[in-house]
Amino acid sequence: MAPEVSLRAADIRAWLREHLTGEFAPLVGTGGPGREHEHLELRAKWERVLGAAGWIGLGWPAPYGRGATIAEQVVFFEEYARAGGPGRLSHIGEYLLAPTLIEHGTDAQRRRFLPPIASASELWCQGYSEPGAGSDLAGVRTRATLADGRWLVSGQKVWTSLAHVADWCFVLARTDPASTRKAGLSYLLVPLSQPGVTVRPIVQLTGTSEFNEVFFDEAVTDADLVVGAPGDGWRVATSTLSYERGVATLGQQLGFARELAAVVAIARANGTFDDPVVADRIADAWAGLQGLRHHALRALSATSPDPTGASVAKLLWAGWHQRLGELAMDVGGAASTVASAAPYDLTDAQLLFLFTRADTIYGGSDEIQRNIVADRVLGRVQR
Ligand SMILES: Cc1cc2nc3c(=O)[nH]c(=O)nc-3n(C[C@H](O)[C@H](O)[C@H](O)COP(=O)(O)OP(=O)(O)OC[C@H]3O[C@@H](n4cnc5c(N)ncnc54)[C@H](O)[C@@H]3O)c2cc1C
């Protein structure tokens, strides 16, 4: 049973003030986009402090979580962002795998995996994308065969966020060799600490590494660590995708507000705010952010799920954030194009600009989101 914590904003704020201090003080404001490499060990320890206090899995139903309402979870996210809480390491387990296990897992899987996600003693990553299967996820070629009561997994995943710190990976693999496309896939839970797994960080534009290549060479996992029935992995995998973002969106938007405030501060300090075109873009960014917030609140409070709401939200925030990165460079003027020290000592504005290039790709690219809107809302019939 999760520890009881008060979900009142003032109590959350007080808890964060009391705990995000001392040895954790250096974490304030760290670990965000382009800064994922910062303080990894200390952030893992911080996750365990959050877990021990009962802040992980707030929205999961009892007995694993608190069954907190969306409004209560939003308060936590907003206070966390306001306090400058560091970028999270346990969110893939908490927000993607856990709801999937609650919906599709067995009791034994829930008992085995939810408590260590809640205590942050096991961190997870998501093994979907492959060199030939990104937008076209049904092209997955990683295969798994069942032999002597174990799955043997072989293949390559790519762009796997946080695999370099994760203990486990949920892997979409082809388990029926005769199958094609969406049929014959299975959703497997695979431990990463074993000889059959190699994780290679990929250096990103920011000079840091948030994601990785992951190679499976007859990696082993137990026969019962398949979520849903073998061959039903597509259904399970797409339900995981539907949990992406969710209530975390509002905390993310407070981060956006802080970034916008930093851009405004640069523009004020160097006089670029006096340029009417810059002022126009800043005002536009501010208004766009209000729109994002209202859209997120409306989507979260909707009584019936909107099948395209997530696509619309993704399109809106990814484009907004990318334009903010461009604005951050423009208000900085020519200095923005030069790193302050060799080899790659970047300012926050430069990191923001470079990292936001990825926003319109991950979690489903802009083109794919527009395809979804075209098909499901506007009634396009593909020939
Ligand atoms: C920062 C970051 C973190 C990520 N983390 C993870 C992770 O943890 N786990 C994981 O599994 N994956 C992760 N990914 C991978 C991500 O899901 C893929 O990059 C994404 O789905 C796009 O796939 P792709 O890179 O193979 O590009 P492709 O699918 O090859 O697309 C290339 C281009 O073609 C366009 N395109 C493709 N198909 C169509 C179409 N039908 N119609 C119109 N345009 C199309 C795309 O929009 C894109 O512009 C991450 C990616 C990034 C950038």
Please report the pLDDT score of residue 23 as a whole number: 98
Does the CA dihedral 159-161-164-170 come out positive or negative? negative
Please report the pLDDT score of residue 365 as a whole number: 96
Ligand 1 in reach of 205 Cβ (< 6 A): no
The chain-wide mean pLDDT, for the chain, equals 93
Helix or strand run (H / E) with residue 187: strand 185-191
Q: Which of 226-230, 335-339, 340-344 has the lowest mean pLDDT?
A: 340-344
Rounded to the nearest angstrom, the distance between the alpha carbon of 238 and the centre of ligand 1 is 15
Residue 39's contacts (CB-CB under 8 Å, 6 or more residues apart) are: 26, 27, 30, 31, 86
Counting residues of the chain whose pLDDT is more than 70, the rounded percentage is 97
Please report the pLDDT score of residue 252 as a whole number: 83
Say yes or no to pLDDT of 363 above 70.
yes
Ligand 1 in reach of 368 Cβ (< 6 A): yes
Distance, CA of 136 to CA of 152 (rounded, Å): 24
Arithmetic mean of pLDDT, 2-9: 81
Residue 213's contacts (CB-CB under 8 Å, 6 or more residues apart) are: 156, 157, 158, 160, 199, 200, 202
Please report the pLDDT score of residue 61 as a whole number: 94
Say yes or no to pLDDT of 245 above 70.
no
Ligand 1 in reach of 308 Cβ (< 6 A): no
Ligand 1 in reach of 160 Cβ (< 6 A): yes
Q: Which residues pair with 153 in a beta bridge?
A: 144, 219
* Ligand 1 atom nearest to 161, measured from its CA: 8
**pLDDT interval class at 305 (50, 70, 90):** low
Q: Are 104 and 236 in contact, with CB atoms under 8 Å apart?
A: yes
Name the region of 122 (left: φ>0; alpha: ψ -120 to 50; beta: rest): beta
- Other CB atoms within 10 A of residue 185 CB: 27
Instruction: For residue 189, give Cα distances in angstroms to 89, 94, 101, 221.
Output: 18, 15, 11, 7
* Ligand 1 atom nearest to 355, measured from its CA: 1
- Pocket-testing residue among 89, 130, 135, 203, ligand 1, by greatest number of atoms within 8 A of Cβ: 135
**pLDDT interval class at 192 (50, 70, 90):** very high
Q: Which residues pair with 226 in a beta bridge?
A: 188
Among this protein's residues, is 72 annotated catalytic?
A: no
Please report the pLDDT score of residue 197 as a whole number: 98
pLDDT digits (tens, 9 = 90+) for 23-67: 999 999 999 878 888 999 999 999 999 999 999 999 999 999 989
**pLDDT interval class at 309 (50, 70, 90):** confident
Output DSSP code: residue 212: E
* Ligand 1 atom nearest to 204, measured from its CA: 1
Rounded to the nearest angstrom, the distance between the alpha carbon of 161 and the centre of ligand 1 is 13
Instruction: For residue 263, give Cα distances in angstroms to 257, 275, 383.
Output: 10, 14, 46
**Residue among 25, 19, 29, 6 nearest 49 (CA):** 19
pLDDT digits (tens, 9 = 90+) for 264-304: 999 999 999 999 999 999 999 999 999 998 888 887 777 77
* Ligand 1 atom nearest to 131, measured from its CA: 26
Ligand 1 in reach of 161 Cβ (< 6 A): yes
From the candidates 244, 259, 326, 367, which is the catalytic residue? 244
Ligand 1 in reach of 126 Cβ (< 6 A): yes
Please report the pLDDT score of residue 251 as a whole number: 74
pLDDT digits (tens, 9 = 90+) for 120-139: 999 999 999 999 999 999 99
**Residue among 88, 86, 78 nearest 9 (CA):** 78
State the DSSP string of 105-174. Answer: --HHHHHHHHHHHHTTSS-EEEE--BTTBSSSGGG---EEEEETTEEEEEEEEES-TTTTT-SEEEEEEE
Distance, CA of 55 to CA of 6 (rounded, Å): 10
Ligand 1 in reach of 183 Cβ (< 6 A): no
Please report the pLDDT score of residue 4 as a whole number: 74
Question: pTM here?
Answer: 0.95
Q: Which residues pair with 345 in a beta bridge?
A: 341
Helix or strand run (H / E) with residue 318: helix 309-332
* Ligand 1 atom nearest to 358, measured from its CA: 53
Closest residue by Cα to atom 43, ligand 1, is 367
Rounded to the nearest angstrom, the distance between the alpha carbon of 53 and the centre of ligand 1 is 36
Please report the pLDDT score of residue 98 as a whole number: 97
HEC assignment per residue over 166-186? CCEEEEEEECCCCCCCCCCEE
Ligand 1 in reach of 154 Cβ (< 6 A): no
Say yes or no to pLDDT of 1 above 60.
no
Say yes or no to pLDDT of 237 above 80.
yes
Say yes or no to pLDDT of 307 above 90.
no
Rounded to the nearest angstrom, the distance between the alpha carbon of 257 and the centre of ligand 1 is 27
Counting residues of the chain whose pLDDT is more than 90, the rounded percentage is 78
* Ligand 1 atom nearest to 130, measured from its CA: 26
Instruction: For residue 61, give Cα distances in angstroms to 90, 249, 283.
Output: 18, 20, 41
The C-alpha torsion from 188 through 195 and 92 to 137, rounded to 10°, is -50
Arithmetic mean of pLDDT, 249-261: 86
Say yes or no to pLDDT of 2 above 90.
no
**Residue among 147, 145, 89, 153 nearest 122 (CA):** 89
Ligand 1 in reach of 209 Cβ (< 6 A): no
Closest residue by Cα to atom 27, ligand 1, is 134
Say yes or no to pLDDT of 368 above 90.
yes
Q: Which residues pair with 221 in a beta bridge?
A: 151
Phi/psi at 220 (nearest 5 deg)?
A: -110, 140
pLDDT digits (tens, 9 = 90+) for 339-359: 877 777 899 999 999 999 999
Ligand 1 in reach of 358 Cβ (< 6 A): yes
SS3 220: strand
Higher pLDDT among residues 77 and 214, named by residue: 214
